[in-house]
């Protein structure tokens, strides 16, 4: 759930030709889950009720399981059930631990011999991100200024569905504003018609990939032609050797954009009091 599930999308989208995770954001596993399946239960706090219930469901169906958490009931449950537990290091918030979760998932894939050793790739990715960090901050800050008092709507190619969703979540949780995401080409078949009558003040963010289908680029151009006079459109592209690198670089820009928006709105980007208060009321 939430921040503890974001990296699973990046694994699926970033390793397009690798094994796919079936992401379950619910109390129960899909009906077909059984002894041939491996359940990776992932919760930063280790106390998220849906994750704990899904792990119980997995164990009762005879699935194999691995738990990822920074302590909590999940770690205790893993010890009691005799399943491996991967400790996630301390982080400001679960959604800031994406790098730890991502590397843990990739590490599990490697240990299962599903992918070659990822160490060199992770090293290059981390060097790439260090190299572009200042530029990402500058881009994020400029974007935050342009997004002030607008609802950011984040669109990307289908293979960036996870990244676009994480962008919107960063605006939701860090800047504490409404934000939405969707992907090309599907949005051209329905969602864009909704801009005929503007009930909010949106700003569109197009995440461009050098690897996306050329017709998707054409779709972005045509959208800009049709809507660009009425709605500000920010087109962002990223460097790096693969879509995975582009996604991570884009998320660094999203972090800075949402952080600077929070600053502009006089809000602390870290805590999510509504999420905590809601959990207590359940």
Query: What is the binding site for ligand F6R (CB under 6 A)?
Result: 1-4, 43-45, 48, 51, 93-95, 173, 272, 275
Indicate the residue among 168 and 219 with the shorter CB distance to ligand F6R.
Answer: 168
Do residues 140 and 174 lie in contact, with contact meaning Cβ atoms separated by under 8 Å? no
Indicate the residue among 70 and 128 with the shorter CB distance to ligand F6R.
Answer: 70
Indicate the residue among 244 and 272 with the shorter CB distance to ligand F6R.
Answer: 272
In this structure, the strands spanning 85-87 and 64-69 are: parallel
Indicate the residue among 45 and 181 with the shorter CB distance to ligand F6R.
Answer: 45
Indicate the residue among 210 and 279 with the shorter CB distance to ligand F6R.
Answer: 279
Give the shortest CB-188-to-ligand F6R separation in angstroms. 30
Exposure string (b/e) for 7-42, b if CB count within 10 Å is 16 or more?
bbbbbbbbbeeeeebeebeeeebeeebeeebebbbb
- For helices 6-14 and 243-264, the axis angle rounded to 10 degrees is 150
Among 137, 84, 106, 76, smallest CA distance to 14 is for 106
Question: Quick one: tokens of 110?
Answer: 């490697």
Indicate the residue among 2 and 140 with the shorter CB distance to ligand F6R.
Answer: 2
Give the shortest CB-75-to-ligand F6R separation in angstroms. 12
Question: Quick one: tokens of 154?
Answer: 């984040």
Give the shortest CB-95-to-ligand F6R separation in angstroms. 4
Question: Quick one: tokens of 225?
Answer: 């032609």
Give the shortest CB-178-to-ligand F6R separation in angstroms. 16
Cα 16 from Cα 21, distance rounded (Å): 11
Cα 230 from Cα 121, distance rounded (Å): 42
Cα 100 from Cα 102, distance rounded (Å): 5
């Amino acid at each position: 759930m939430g921040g503890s599930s974001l990296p699973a999308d990046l694994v699926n989208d970033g390793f397009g030709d690798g094994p796919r995770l079936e992401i379950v954001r619910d109390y129960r596993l899909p009906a077909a889950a059984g002894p041939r399946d491996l359940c990776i239960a992932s919760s930063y706090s280790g106390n998220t009720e849906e994750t704990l219930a899904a792990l119980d469901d997995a164990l009762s169906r005879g699935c194999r399981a691995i738990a990822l958490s920074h302590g909590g009931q999940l770690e205790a449950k893993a010890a009691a059930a005799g399943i491996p537990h991967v400790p996630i290091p301390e982080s400001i918030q679960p959604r800031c631990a994406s790098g730890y979760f991502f590397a843990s998932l990739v590490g599990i894939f490697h240990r299962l011999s599903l992918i070659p050793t990822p160490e060199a790739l992770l090293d290059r990715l981390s060097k790439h991100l260090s190299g572009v960090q200042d530029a990402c901050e500058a881009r994020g800050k400029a974007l935050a200024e342009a997004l002030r008092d607008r609802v950011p709507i984040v669109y990307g190619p289908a293979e960036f569905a996870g990244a676009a969703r994480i962008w919107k979540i960063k605006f939701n949780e860090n800047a504490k504003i409404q934000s939405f995401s969707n992907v090309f080409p599907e949005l051209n078949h329905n969602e864009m018609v909704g801009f005929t009558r503007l009930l909010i003040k949106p700003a569109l963010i197009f995440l461009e990939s050098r690897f996306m289908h050329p017709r998707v680029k054409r779709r972005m151009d045509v959208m800009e032609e049709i809507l660009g006079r009425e709605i500000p459109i920010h087109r962002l592209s990223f460097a790096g050797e693969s879509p995975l690198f582009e996604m991570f670089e884009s998320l660094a820009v999203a972090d800075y954009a949402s952080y600077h928006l929070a600053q502009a709105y006089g809000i602390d980007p870290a805590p999510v009091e509504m999420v905590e208060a809601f959990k207590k009321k359940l």
